[in-house]
Amino acid sequence: MLLVKWSLVDLESLKMNTVQEHYNNQLAAIYGWMAGSSEIAIKQNYDLLCQLGVDAQPKDLAIDLGAGLGFQSIPLAEMGFTVVAVDFCADLLAEWRDRAEKLAIRIVEDNILNFSKHIESKAALVVCMGDTITHLESFDAVRALIANIENVLTANGKLILTFRDYVSLELTGKQRFIPVKSDDSRILTCFLEYHPDIVEVHDLLYIKDGDRWLMHSSSYPKLRLDANWLCSEIKELGFQVVCNQIINGMICIVAQK
């Protein structure tokens, strides 16, 4: 009976959560640890944004969708933009709120689909980076977000998207187990399970407690977004796609209104 009871507990712990549940209950507490040095991540994004020509744009309003720990918002503010940073995870936003208050950054805790409710003027730039767009629950939600972005951008305003490629290569067998990060007290491994429209991401976190390791498991869905499909949708909504390439291992799409 005891063995059956534990089996049921394990099955329940592996039930797929919503993206927000997964971040609130599993990832938020370790996100900074996963990312490593914040300053390195900020510098990498600063360099990427410069590579994409953002530093040469008029420094007006920029919107960061899925702001997380501010790895895009902070370099944008340092370039001279006034930034609205939107994310649904209160714990992540709390980690850098003091720093944001010293820069021209307004933090908004909300679902990115609701971002336009918090905007009072047109934006020169919208970024949705770091795989955020794959967190949306459907392809219709992706279309709705792009349409909303088009509506708030100024003429010649830019949209920057980055996300992982879960379409062109489907990992199999042991390839689906991806070591993310480890140290003397924590080990994080990711396991991918492919479905037609989504990839189910299982995060297996082991935390050392004395002389034993405790496992915390959670899974959530990510959309399998095809870059060509997304570019087609973007064009239909009135954008010109000026970049569609792999940069730093991520698909990077830049579109201009």
Q: What is the pairing mode between strands 153-163 and 177-182?
A: unpaired
Q: What is the pLDDT of residue 37?
A: 87
- My answer on whether 230 and 139 are in the same domain is yes
- My answer on whether 68 and 179 are in the same domain is no
- My answer on whether 103 and 15 are in the same domain is no
Give the bridge partners for 64, in sequence order: 85, 127
- My answer on whether 101 and 128 are in the same domain is yes
Beta strand ranges found along 167-211 (DSSP E)? 177-182, 186-194, 198-209
- My answer on whether 16 and 139 are in the same domain is no
Q: Are 68 and 130 in contact (CB under 8 A)?
A: yes
- My answer on whether 248 and 138 are in the same domain is yes
Mean pLDDT by 10 residues, the chain (257 residues): 33 65 89 89 96 93 97 97 97 95 97 96 97 96 97 96 96 95 95 95 93 92 97 96 96 97
DSSP 116: G
- My answer on whether 177 and 75 are in the same domain is no
Range of the domain at 25: 2-32+168-223
- My answer on whether 208 and 128 are in the same domain is no
Q: Can you read off the two tokens belonging to residue 53?
A: 């020509």
Q: What is the pLDDT of residue 14?
A: 46
Q: What is the pLDDT of residue 118?
A: 96
Give the bridge partners for 202, in sequence order: 191, 219
Q: What is the pLDDT of residue 7?
A: 33
CATH number at residue 60: 3.40.50.150
DSSP 18: P
DSSP 15: S
Nearest residue to 220 (alpha-carbon basis) of 198, 187, 249, 197: 198
Number of domains in the chain: 2
- My answer on whether 148 and 75 are in the same domain is yes
Q: What is the pLDDT of residue 127?
A: 98
- My answer on whether 70 and 98 are in the same domain is yes
Contacts 24+ apart (CB under 8 A), 202-208: 202/14, 203/22, 203/26, 203/27, 205/26, 205/30, 208/184
pTM of the model: 0.91
Query: How far lies 58's CA from each of 105, 195, 200, in Å?
Result: 17, 42, 40
**110: CB partners within 8 A, 6+ apart:** 86, 88, 117, 118
CATH number at residue 217: 3.30.160
Q: What is the pLDDT of residue 35?
A: 86
Q: Can you read off the two tokens belonging to residue 82?
A: 């006034």
Q: What is the pLDDT of residue 2?
A: 31
- My answer on whether 145 and 243 are in the same domain is yes
- My answer on whether 116 and 236 are in the same domain is yes
Report the alpha-carbon distance of residue 109 to residue 89 in Å, rounded.
7
Q: What is the pLDDT of residue 11?
A: 37
